[in-house]
Amino acid sequence: MIYHNGNELAWVPDYEEKDGPTYRRIADCIEEDIQSGKLGHGTKLPPQRVIADYLKVNHGTVTRAYKLCEEKGLVKGIIGNGTFVSGSAGIPIELMTDHDESSIISLGMTLPLYEMNDHIRQYLKDMTLVMDYNIALKYCPPEGHIKHRYIASNWLKKKGVMAEPDNMIITSGTQNALAVILTTIFEKGDRIIVDEFTYTGLKSLAQYLGIILVPVGGHDCIMDPYRLSVACRRENVKGIYIMPDCHNPSASVMPQETREAIAEIIRKEKLLCIEDATYSFTLAEKMKSVSAYVPEQSFYIHGTSKAICPTFRISYLMAPKMYMKKLKEGINNLTWMASPYNAEVMSLLQSTGQYDDLVTFKLEELKERNRLFDEVFEGYDHIASETAMYRCIQLPEHYSEDRIEQEALRKGVQVFGISRFKSGIDTKLKGIRVAISSPKNHKELMDGMTIVRDILEGYDEAYVPVI
């Protein structure tokens, strides 16, 4: 314990032997001490003014260091309470726990309606008698066992997806599928067009691999074909990433005519299309995918984690045959194979019709949760949906997403500002994404949404100074 001017300091940064600006050296100390375990999860850091006084540096220098660590997800500042080491401690915030063991109401990370797990548990008990353990408990080829690919391809065809066993790879979830595509088909410095707001997992993966994301705007977060054409002429673009069935974070659904127009540009510009269909199961009326118009240039990913359960981590990647060899090598190098046991579970659910039964149960529950959202946030600017797992509330330009996040967390609710999904720097659109699928029940959902609504309603009075 260090005593300084009447303050007890359990920790101070030892930054003297580090290089670079002072604020960055302090931030590096925080990060290293978190990683070493010296600063444990939930530890309260000393006040910035106290650290500044102890180190004899400017208060703004320490504030900048704390801010840098917060941007990295290492610490979290709570207004009125101080700065704490994050429970995620360096893990991207979108991968944070659902706070199941705390009093926090999770409206941030999108969780797949865990109340459905009671149904899944019963199905799993029945499956133990019919599971093909000769396949489930053995190694399989990197692309997955032919039995599982055959069953999945037939099941996907009924949903209008162009799928054949020979052009399918079974991956350990959508993030794994994206990693395989980006590491084998793309190279450092390649450019991929994305929406102005896009999936955070793609953002972090692209940054890690040195792939450049080129944002293209539109209306209601739906990419505008004209702006796409302009971007293709202006940039040396290799690919495009889209989520047309239920855009994340806006929940917008791309109209069919826009899909056709974008597909035509993909064909004309010889782009490689990555279509993420993670939330396609939430569409009441199925629409033709963009990939279906340009199959020889498309990688279509159909995940099961949100539709069924994250435990099994199975996604189906459909790709042109000319890229299959590379993709197989990629998955072999990254993960060797997806779990045959998990793939067997998915195959049994699909072949018995239980997969579709679970989705039907989930959609009925999502309809009620969306109805409750519409009721609580009546009058607010948001995109309509009956079955989305999340909804996005658009905010006035002078609102601070960070401030709303912090105030919500202080009152026991986790929400995410859409700036976390921003792929560029020019857009001024602000909003809060509310994951309505994540709370345990309707009461918790209503309690969380009511708190968020009250914060929004009182924002100007609380934060805008009266002149």
331 has pLDDT over 80: yes
- Give me the pLDDT at residue 15, please: 84
DSSP 331-354: HHHHTSS--HHHHHHHHHHHHHTH
Span 169-192, mean pLDDT? 96
Let me know: does 434 contact 449? Beta carbons within 8 Å: yes
Look up tokens 């069953």; give the residue. Answer: 151
Look up tokens 């009620």; give the residue. Answer: 368
96 has pLDDT over 60: no
Mean pLDDT, the chain, rounded, equals: 90
- Give me the pLDDT at residue 93, please: 47
Span 5-20, mean pLDDT? 80
Span 125-154, mean pLDDT? 93
Sign of torsion, CA 152 154 157 161?
Answer: positive
Span 171-198, mean pLDDT? 96
463 has pLDDT over 90: no
Let me know: does 338 contact 367? Beta carbons within 8 Å: no
pLDDT band at 77 (very low <50, low <70, confident <90, very high): confident
Rounded to 5°, angle at Cα 372 from 249 and 199: 10
Span 45-57, mean pLDDT? 90
Could you give the dihedral angle defined by the CA atoms of residues 44, 46, 48 and 53, in that order, rounded to the nearest 10 degrees? Answer: 180
Let me know: does 108 contact 414? Beta carbons within 8 Å: yes
- The span from the CA of 237 to the CA of 213, in Å, is 9
5 has pLDDT over 90: no
Span 389-409, mean pLDDT? 93
Span 90-100, mean pLDDT? 47
Task: Of 412, 414, 410, 396, give the one whose Cα is nearest residue 456.
Answer: 396
Pairing between β-strand 212-216 and β-strand 218-219 as defined by DSSP bridges: unpaired
Query: Which of 85-89, 369-373, 455-459 is predicted most confidently?
Result: 369-373
Let me know: does 159 contact 286? Beta carbons within 8 Å: yes
For the entire predicted model, the pTM comes to 0.77
Please name the residue ranges forming H helices in 235-293: 256-269
Span 459-463, mean pLDDT? 75
- Give me the pLDDT at residue 99, please: 44
- Give me the pLDDT at residue 3, please: 59
Span 355-384, mean pLDDT? 94
95 has pLDDT over 50: no
Task: Of 359, 345, 322, give the one whose Cα is nearest residue 158.
Answer: 359
97 has pLDDT over 60: no
Span 303-313, mean pLDDT? 92
